[in-house]
Amino acid sequence: MKKSKIGNPLPMAGMTQDAAQGVDGLPMGGGESAAFELDLADHFLIAMPSMDDPVFGGTVVYVCEHNDKGVLGVVINKPTDMTMEVLFERIDLKLAEGLRTTVVNEPIMFGGPVQDDRGFVLHTPHSHYSSSLTVTPEVAFTTSIDVLEAVASGTGPTRMLVSIGYSGCSPGQLEEELGRNGWLTVKADPAVMFDLPIEERYNAAIKLLGIDPMMLASEAGHA
């Protein structure tokens, strides 16, 4: 997975009013090519312990969409030094009374190297937002500021992950990397990305495969 774009993503997704239009050129669900067979949407991509890539080493990527146009995903376990408090200040949103203690210290994730000056939100489907992809009944991917406006007012989704940037693959790129054993894949569990502490998400994702993370690390160390 590299710094590549799918279609022509808009420059902002959740951080200015100009961006509340979605991800231009990205098919928002459905429309898969008949020739396209592998669909890893709603899966975790888990970087193999042997991966030494400075961007994706040690990461878990939640795949929002995978089709003949490529892959769009979000890293769920790589926090930045930005918090929700800083983000809300930058986009001039004021939190409603009572929300400050529960929201302000939440870290913003590094979602990936594509559009890494823009904001993206993974969350439980809660309401209709102007640019949102429903991945499953439990997970949506929103690229418009109205989801953060709802959070600030106290009417937003109860579970969410905000990222700067996303992870993208061009057509065939992920399949090639899977063929080189760069990633493990497993059906995603929303509890891993929404409920667990960040430092526990990598091992928890591996355990979804029924694998002991320590054994996997040991095998990689002797490869």
The pair of structure tokens assigned to 122 is 């993974």
Going by pLDDT thresholds of 50, 70 and 90, the confidence category of residue 117 is confident
pLDDT digit string, tens, across residues 155-192: 889 899 999 999 999 999 999 999 999 999 999 999 99
Start-to-end CA distance of the chain, whole Å, equals 22
Residue 16 has pLDDT above 90, yes or no: no
Residue 203 has pLDDT above 70, yes or no: yes
Rounded distance, CA 187 to CA 147, Å?
A: 26
pLDDT digit string, tens, across residues 39-91: 999 999 999 988 889 999 999 999 999 998 899 999 999 999 999 889 988 88
Going by pLDDT thresholds of 50, 70 and 90, the confidence category of residue 146 is very high
Which residues lie across from 79 on neighbouring strands? 109
